[in-house]
Structure 1
Amino acid sequence: MLDRRLNAYRPDLADQVLQGQVEAERFVVPQPAMIAAPVVPLRPRPDLTAGIDTELLIGEAVGVLERKDGFAWVKAASDGYVGYLPESALAPSQQPTHVVCVPRTFVYSGADLKFPMRRALSMGSRLSIVGEIETRGMLYLLLSNGDAVIARHLRALSDAPLGDYVHVAARFIETPYLWGGKSAFGIDCSGLVQLSMAMVGEAAPRDSDMQAEKLGIVIERDALRRGDLVFWKGHVAIMEDERTLLHANGHTMSVARETLEGAIERIGWLYGQPTGYRRPIAET
């Protein structure tokens, strides 16, 4: 049985790449599109009352397998996740030029911080910039509709991503915990790992079980250092140093710091001991 999170197939319709692996009445080639809203939940079925599996951010590329009754069935280009979202959240494909590199920023109705705010964006959001303008010493980057973003809150995608993903993760401290969340407005444990690593140019699977199976290399507990991952059943945490970890968690309902020993003791009575340890980036 193929993982439905990463493989788009139903009895009536399936992704063309799965032909020969699954049975379906019809196979289609996903059509390119782009996320057009700041944060869009991706759900396992076309129902707004269904819980969310993950989220997609503005500027992310998707392949659309079906548009029906106001919903689109899509596959995310970044991590292959499959699900349903409102068709209104899609726009024609466009090549982003910049990514938001601070936890949160605003899009203004023009190049002036006193102008009305159009929307708030999370780190990881992608934008197509067409120009720049300076107002009272502040540089703004412009969108095609005249809206503007503080220039230093964006990084050109053409620039090589640099930095330490643990430092990125620490910038999310006190961000609310949200099951399935993948933004600076609400994030879950594996979303924190994936988004933080993406900001330094490293790919990670979306869910903690995927990360525990495929991300990096297995290590022993006594080898833990900064950047290593600790897994429990259904949970993952990032080591900030040999004794302290960072994680989005349902205990504090936020991204928080905790000692490794304290986390093991607190989590153990309900979810058991850690199931494994991995080093996601060899040079960390």
Structure 2
Amino acid sequence: MTDARLTPSNERVAAAYLEGQVDAPRYVEGELLQCTCAAADILGKPGGRRTSQLLFGDLFNVLEVHKGHAFGQSVYDGYCGYIREDLLGRAEDATHWVSVPATHLYPAPHLKVMTQGALYFGSEVSVIGIEGTWSRLSGGQCVPSVHLQPIGERRKDPVAVADLLLGTPYLWGGSSRYGIDCSGLIQICWRACGRECPRDSDMQEQDIGHPVEMEDIRRGDLVFWDGHVGLMTSDSIMIHANAHHMAVAYEPLEDAIQRIDEAGDGPVTSIKRPE
């Protein structure tokens, strides 16, 4: 059985590489576009609930546009769904990425002018010029250069990245400083370190690392429940985006295990050590 989250096919169209694997009225190569807003919701269906997000600069292979929504597949993690057509635009080659939790967009390289929005950690941008301590982006806005890193320079420690996002509000399907869920936090930490990472916690449990025993747990390990994941910051404390705190928060692992079990969400299903 195919996983709809990773299968670019609906009742009208499918990706060309799926011909012979899924039935569809037509098969297309698609058009590569990018997210042009701070964060764009990926929906399970037009008008449906958020299942994930694209950040500014993220690439999305559009297979069709139908009634104001583009159906396609995220290039980074293969996640499929629907995005409002007006939130996508021409793809550009990124030169830098936002390496702080958030940065403001300024119409000019001056800190006292009124801002024109924001970009979140992990967003990829195209810098076309340097003006003093400011970087001018291809869209014309400026951001502080200290908030950017070259696209090829990545972080080394996912736990340190998670620490940056402490206090971020919980948001189902969220992937940014504006709001994030448990697996979104893990994905953005891995991506900031130049590592591949699937979107949802069940995928992460299957694909990341190798199992370890509870008595051997250490900083950097991932702890999984059915539908939830946390990242160990030591041998006893984890950081996770969770609906109990409604935020990215630290929590003693023993407390989380007891609380989650008492809430009826079951025991730890595995502990994985990234390789």
TM-score (norm 2): 0.97
Deviation at 1:12, TM superposition (A): 2.7
Q: Pick closer, same or farther for the CA change 1:145–1:33 going to 2, 3 Å.
A: closer
Unmatched runs of 5 consecutive residues or more in structure 2? none
Q: How many residues align structurally? A: 274
Look up the SS of the partner of 1:212 in the other structure.
helix
**Worse-superposed segment, 209-218 or 6-15:** 6-15
Alignment match of 1:217 (pick from 192, 210, 216): 210
**Identity over the aligned pairs, expressed in percent?**
40
Amino acid at match of 1:242: D
User: Which of 169, 172, 175 is 1:176 aligned to?
Assistant: 169
What aligned pairs does 1:10-21 form with structure 2 within 5 A after superposition? 10-21=10-21
Instruction: Tell me how far apart the structure 2 counterparts of residues 192 and 145 of structure 1 sit (CA, whole Å).
Output: 28
1:120 CA displacement: 1.1
Q: Give the structure 2 partner of residue 95 of structure 1.
A: 93
Are 1:157 and 2:151 counterparts? Answer: yes
- Matches of 2:75 and 2:106, distance apart in 1: 28
The alignment partner of 2:127 has SS state of coil
- Displacement of 1:54 after TM fit? 0.3
Report deviation, 1:173.
0.9
Question: What are the within-5 Å matches in structure 2 for residues 46-85 of structure 1?
Answer: 46-47=46-47, 50-85=48-83
Candidates 127, 130, 143, aligned match of 2:128: 130
- What is the TM-score when the length of structure 1 is the normalising length? 0.94
Structure 2 Cα separation of the partners of residues 185 and 226 of structure 1 = 26
Runs of 4+ in 1 over 4 A off after TM superposition: none
Deviations 1:81-138, CA, capped at 9 Å, x for gaps = 000011001111110111000001101011011111111111011111001112xxxx
CA distance in 2, matches of 1:225, 1:212: 17
Structure 2 residue aligned with 1:244 = 237
Cα 1:27–1:265 change in 2 (3 A) is same
C-alpha deviation, 1:202, in angstroms: 1.1
The equivalent of 1:4 in structure 2 is 4
How far residue 145 of structure 1 moved from its aligned partner, in angstroms, is: 4.1
Deviation at 1:182, TM superposition (A): 0.3
Cα RMSD of the aligned pairs, angstroms, is: 1.0
Unaligned stretches of 5+ in structure 1? none
Distance 1:43 1:200 in 2: 27
